Structure 1
């Protein structure tokens, strides 16, 4: 099931995409796609619906981030060996974790605005995990029982803020508009654990990242279990699982985003995004 939130910013309604690609309105049945829905019985009830019984929404629509309120967004660094190599870093013996400000999250086609003075803003297509049932010290075998679904994330990064200005990576990760997410939340009955899916990103029509999630060092079930050792994961929380090679930092010389650039990215079965870059 592909769940979406459609409409103008701050006025999104819940919906789903049916098997024919039509947008169906869920607003008469649920108030939003949020922690209450994801953490309760509501998600299972939606799966039993006949989409044909829901009204069709016609016309082009903006899709907001597919979860209304994200409590926390935990990101995994250097989770593809070839990306670690292009970054000049070793594959870590345990996952590298950092937080991305939830205020950076936005819809999949919303404009990306470079922060003041930015000269090294970069792209990162990533597989995002959305938590359903609370996860606290869960086993790897049980981890997927706590996942509501998967989505696409563009984990944009201002490299000078991230690397050159001391301290934690999150300085370069949490800028406003630096977390386009969606277009869909694809529930696990359709998405599985996201393994062995093509993952890619283009800038101005040129393919920059072209990978597969099967080369992730640490897979989704392990990451959910691992992170739940350090903090409880709540319904609606997001884990962004790392990026394959081809980021701007990895080129010689590096290539960074500038005003007017267009990013297009996607993951097999989880949909596509597109953003225009502005100052």
Structure 2
């Protein structure tokens, strides 16, 4: 099953079931509503009604797809988790971690699968990273590797957009360079786990203006997604809707200095999950801050 959050015309956000090139509105199914994250713990219970729903139908090309999960409690990413990517990083003088290396992407970076990516005012080192993203389906702690798949609700395509100078030079942690506004495009919808026979054997491909930059299989991971869940859940309770970006393969822009520019179109596609496509635009000029005694700027 594929579930999307969307807007049709001037209407509000709805949840839809993706059937090929069409989308069936299922928000009026009792218990569904408009928050995909909220229904994840009850998805098995709601599934028969969602699959049988016959609400309003829209062509996918006629709706605006929103981020499937726009309000996760946590958005975590693992660094240098593909063998060839680790090798290209090592060639650039960045040592390969000896254990799983995790960082936060602040959830305010999340945007939809076709929304614009801002090129920051403060940097020219804007980079792309295609990633398989795992969405947690139920609260869990101390999950074994063997049981880890049972806590996965489904999968997304993610572009872990990175600002390299803030990532590697201007901050002692990855968080700032990974968390600029609009630098977390995800989607195009949530593909439930049962739809994917083996998430560790999927082709992932990223292009910039049609030129292939990354083209790998998910089986090149150093730590697979089940090991990742087991590792993280030793530390924290993973909650429904939490997003885990599971690493990017070789081919990023940093080793060659081929960074993204205004006008570039970045397309990230993963076998069985669909594709997201985002255009790089200049970050809007900052709003002048007002003094304490002034009225707050309009939002």
Is the counterpart of residue 255 in structure 1 residue 255 in structure 2?
no
Is the counterpart of residue 71 in structure 1 residue 76 in structure 2?
no
State the 1:142 CA deviation.
0.8
**Which residue matches 2:4?**
4
State the 1:49 CA deviation.
4.1
State the 1:57 CA deviation.
1.7
**Which residue matches 1:190?**
195
Q: Distance in 2 between matches of 1:92 and 1:26?
A: 44
Question: Where do 5+ consecutive residues of structure 1 fail to align?
Answer: none
Alignment of 1:70-109 (within 5 A): 70-88=72-90, 89-109=94-114
State the 1:7 CA deviation.
1.2
The structure that has the greater radius of gyration is 2
**Which residue matches 1:22?**
22
Question: Where do 5+ consecutive residues of structure 2 fail to align?
Answer: 283-299
Q: Distance in 1 between matches of 2:156 and 2:271?
A: 10
**Which residue matches 1:159?**
164
State the 1:112 CA deviation.
0.5
State the 1:84 CA deviation.
1.2
Is the counterpart of residue 125 in structure 1 residue 130 in structure 2?
yes
Question: Is the CA contact (8 Å cut-off) linking 2:158 and 2:245 kept in structure 1?
Answer: yes
If the length of structure 1 is used for normalisation, what is the TM-score? 0.93
If the length of structure 2 is used for normalisation, what is the TM-score? 0.87
Label 1:171 to 1:27 Cα distance change in 2 as closer, same or farther (>3 A): same
SS at match of 1:63: strand
Q: Distance in 1 between matches of 2:27 and 2:89?
A: 45
Aligned length: 275
Q: Distance in 2 between matches of 1:265 and 1:239?
A: 17
SS at match of 2:254: helix
Q: Distance in 2 between matches of 1:46 and 1:233?
A: 22
State the 1:52 CA deviation.
6.2
Task: Write out per-residue CA displacement over residues 58-107 of structure 1, whole angstroms, 9 at most, x where no aligned residue.
Answer: 45211111114211101000000111111223442211000001000110
State the 1:116 CA deviation.
1.6
Q: Distance in 1 between matches of 2:190 and 2:87?
A: 31
Is the counterpart of residue 274 in structure 1 residue 277 in structure 2?
yes
**Which residue matches 2:62?**
60
Question: Is the CA contact (8 Å cut-off) linking 1:24 and 1:51 kept in structure 2?
Answer: no
Is the counterpart of residue 242 in structure 1 residue 242 in structure 2?
no
